[in-house]
Amino acid sequence: SFSVSKLHAQTAEDSVKATINQMFAAMKGTNAKALLGCFADRSTLQTVLRDKQGKIIVRSEPITEFVKQVASMPKDAGDERIIFDAIKIDGAMASVWAPYKFYYNGKFSHCGVNNFVLVKLGSQWKIQYIIDTRRRVGCE
Q: The CATH number of the domain where 16 resides is what?
A: 3.10.450.50
**pLDDT tens-digit profile, the chain (140 residues):** 444 555 555 589 999 999 999 999 999 999 999 999 999 999 999 999 999 999 999 999 999 999 999 889 888 888 999 999 999 999 999 999 999 999 999 999 999 999 999 999 999 999 999 999 999 999 97
Residue 46 resides in a domain: yes
Q: What is the pLDDT of residue 8?
A: 55
Residue 140 resides in a domain: no
Residue 55 resides in a domain: yes
How many domains in the chain?
Answer: 1
> Residue 96 is part of which domain span?
2-133
pTM: 0.88
What long-range pairs does 19-26 form, CB within 8 A, spacing at least 24? Answer: 19/118, 19/124, 19/125, 19/126, 19/127, 20/82, 20/84, 20/96, 20/98, 20/116, 20/118, 20/127, 23/127, 24/80, 24/82, 26/70
Residue 139 resides in a domain: no
Q: What is the pLDDT of residue 1?
A: 45
Residue 138 resides in a domain: no
